[in-house]
Amino acid sequence: MADELPGDREVLEVHTTGSTTYRLERVSCGKNCKGCPHGPYWYGYWREGGKTRSKYIGKNLPTTQVKKV
């Protein structure tokens, strides 16, 4: 699962496009936070220079990124 990531994340959906993986995640930061769980929000993950990079996308994944099956 997502055990390489900080916090408590639940992955609801995954889309892979080329070298980028998009994940719809619900995040619980858990530190006296009244807003948990957050999201779900989309994040993009890709490999760059041997490291996993990530980018916050938002509530909606741009449809250009997704091929509907």
Note the residues at the interface with Zn ion (CB under 5 A).
29, 33, 35-36
Residue nearest Zn ion, Cβ-based: 33
Where are the extended beta strands (E) located within 1-69? Answer: 8-17, 20-28, 38-48, 51-58
Least distance CB 36 / Zn ion (angstroms): 4
Query: 20 vs 17, 29, 38, 43, 47, CA distance in Å?
Result: 5, 25, 23, 10, 8
Least distance CB 5 / Zn ion (angstroms): 15
Least distance CB 44 / Zn ion (angstroms): 21
d(CA 9, CA 19): 22
Nearest residue (CB) to Zn ion, 14 versus 33 = 33
Nearest residue (CB) to Zn ion, 36 versus 57 = 36
